[in-house]
């Protein structure tokens, strides 16, 4: 959907004026036809919008070419859409093109756009920086919600492990991998933005807030990744320990059985001179000797903790 707005003292106002004359243009989940219309109107490169709904889009900041706009900037930051189920859809790139008189936002996040439209910001730079801050805050809220899941996994890992917990660990790790790589790119993007010519007239505290909030995001993600790695290592160590104990038990059991088989094998040889070969209770005597030796070996192995 493509909507046009003019900026007044009371905030953005929806308008029906020509696309070139609009101060603020917001494209929410735009169609290919709307992208084509935008690119033709402002002489923009259509390739820039190719990955507008994909997590493979790269966060970046640079100038772009246009014969209509005045030496415009091209900015990509990431928003978060909680209504989607998978992280690939939840991480939504916001493509922003702007100069001193125009601001174009292309995103799949309807909530962020509604907040901007309903605001009372009276100039484009206020809208731009508050939009970026809003995207950062939403991702931080998501990370805070992940912390509780990490704490639950940590408590579960100390008690034991289960397939359900392992699946939860894998899912959460996957989400943080996407967030980590996305926010690493966005950190350099924010740094480039605040150092650009466009921000020379922007209050220093606004630029600093963007930088600090981005640093918080990056730090939180790295901490949570390290916590998940430690939990994963604990799960792995516990599984290795259980497997080692099982192998020790099987080896010990095999040794006990081998002793009994060795004794009965000797006694069962068809060679004269063996004790109790003509005795009525020879079988039971042989079985008793084998059992006693097996129990003795099992006791010795237990004392040596080979069965634990």
Long-range CB contacts (< 8 A, 24+ apart) of 36-44? 37/2, 38/2, 38/104, 38/106, 41/68, 42/66, 42/68, 42/69, 42/97, 42/102, 42/104, 43/67, 43/68, 44/97
Q: What is the pLDDT of residues 114-148, one digit of tens each?
A: 888 888 888 888 999 999 999 999 999 999 999 99
Does residue 206 sit within a domain? no
**pLDDT reading at 278 higher than 70:** no
Of the three residues 68, 87, 119, the one that is the final residue of a domain is 119
Question: How high is the pLDDT of residue 44?
Answer: 92
Of the three residues 63, 96, 119, the one that is the final residue of a domain is 119
Does residue 191 sit within a domain? no
Confidence grade of residue 183 (pLDDT, cut at 50, 70, 90): very high
Of the three residues 72, 99, 119, the one that is the final residue of a domain is 119
CATH number of the domain to which 53 belongs: 3.30.460.20
Confidence grade of residue 274 (pLDDT, cut at 50, 70, 90): low
Does residue 177 sit within a domain? no
Does residue 175 sit within a domain? no
Does residue 24 sit within a domain? yes
Number of independent structural domains in the chain: 2
Domain that holds residue 100: 1-119
Does residue 9 sit within a domain? yes
Does residue 264 sit within a domain? yes
Share of the chain above pLDDT 90, in %: 40
**Mean pLDDT, rounded, of the chain:** 85
Does residue 195 sit within a domain? no
Q: Are 194 and 207 in contact (CB under 8 A)?
A: yes
């Amino acid at each position: 959907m493509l909507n046009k707005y003019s900026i007044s003292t009371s905030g953005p106002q929806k308008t029906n004026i020509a696309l070139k004359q609009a101060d603020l243009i917001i494209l929410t989940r735009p169609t290919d036809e709307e992208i084509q219309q935008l690119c033709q109107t402002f002489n923009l490169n259509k390739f820039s919008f190719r990955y507008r709904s994909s997590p493979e889009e790269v966060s970046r900041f640079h100038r772009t070419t246009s014969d209509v706009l005045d030496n415009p900037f091209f900015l990509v930051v990431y928003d978060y859409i909680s209504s989607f189920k998978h992280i690939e859809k939840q991480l939504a790139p916001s493509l922003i093109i702007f100069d001193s008189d125009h601001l174009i936002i292309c995103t799949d996040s309807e909530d962020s756009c509604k907040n901007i439209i309903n605001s009372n910001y009276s100039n484009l730079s206020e809208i731009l920086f508050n939009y970026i801050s809003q995207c950062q805050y939403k991702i931080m809220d998501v990370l805070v919600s992940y912390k509780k899941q990490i704490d639950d996994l940590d408590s579960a890992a100390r008690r034991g492990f289960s397939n359900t917990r392992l699946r939860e660990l894998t899912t959460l790790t996957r989400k943080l991998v996407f967030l980590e790589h996305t926010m690493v790119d966005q950190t350099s993007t924010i740094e480039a933005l605040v150092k650009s010519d466009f921000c020379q007239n922007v209050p220093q505290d606004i630029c600093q807030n963007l930088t600090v909030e981005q640093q918080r995001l990056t730090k939180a993600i790295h901490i949570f990744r390290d916590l998940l790695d430690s939990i994963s290592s604990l799960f792995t160590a516990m599984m290795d320990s259980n497997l080692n104990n099982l192998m020790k038990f099987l080896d010990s059991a095999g040794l006990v059985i081998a002793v009994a088989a060795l004794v009965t094998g000797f006694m069962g040889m068809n060679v004269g001179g063996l004790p109790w070969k003509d005795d009525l209770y020879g079988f039971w005597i042989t079985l008793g000797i084998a059992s006693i030796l097996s129990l003795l070996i099992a006791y010795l192995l237990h004392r040596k903790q080979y069965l634990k």
